[in-house]
């Protein structure tokens, strides 16, 4: 039971990391665009 719970937790964290990376990339791209517009 404990091992399965740990595996589930790890998979859950991996899924969150993948989602954060996807949204993070879009956030960085949009942030760079906004900063470029502000600087120019």
**What would the pLDDT profile of 1-40 be if each residue is shown by its tens digit?**
678 999 999 999 999 888 888 888 777 788 777 666 665 5
What is the pTM for the complete model shown?
A: 0.47
pLDDT in the model for residue 11:
92
- Distance in angstroms (rounded) separating the CA atoms of residues 31 and 23: 12
pLDDT in the model for residue 1:
62
pLDDT in the model for residue 37:
62
Measure the CA dihedral 8/10/12/15, to 10°: -140
Full domain range(s) for residue 27: 1-40
CB count within 10 Å of CB 32 equals 10
- Distance in angstroms (rounded) separating the CA atoms of residues 26 and 15: 17
DSSP assigned state of 11: H
- Distance in angstroms (rounded) separating the CA atoms of residues 17 and 7: 15
Number of domains in the chain: 1
């Amino acid at each position: 039971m404990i091992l399965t719970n740990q595996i589930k937790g790890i998979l859950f964290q991996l899924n969150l990391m993948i989602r954060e990376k996807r949204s993070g990339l879009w956030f960085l791209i949009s942030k760079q665009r906004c900063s470029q517009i502000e600087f120019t």
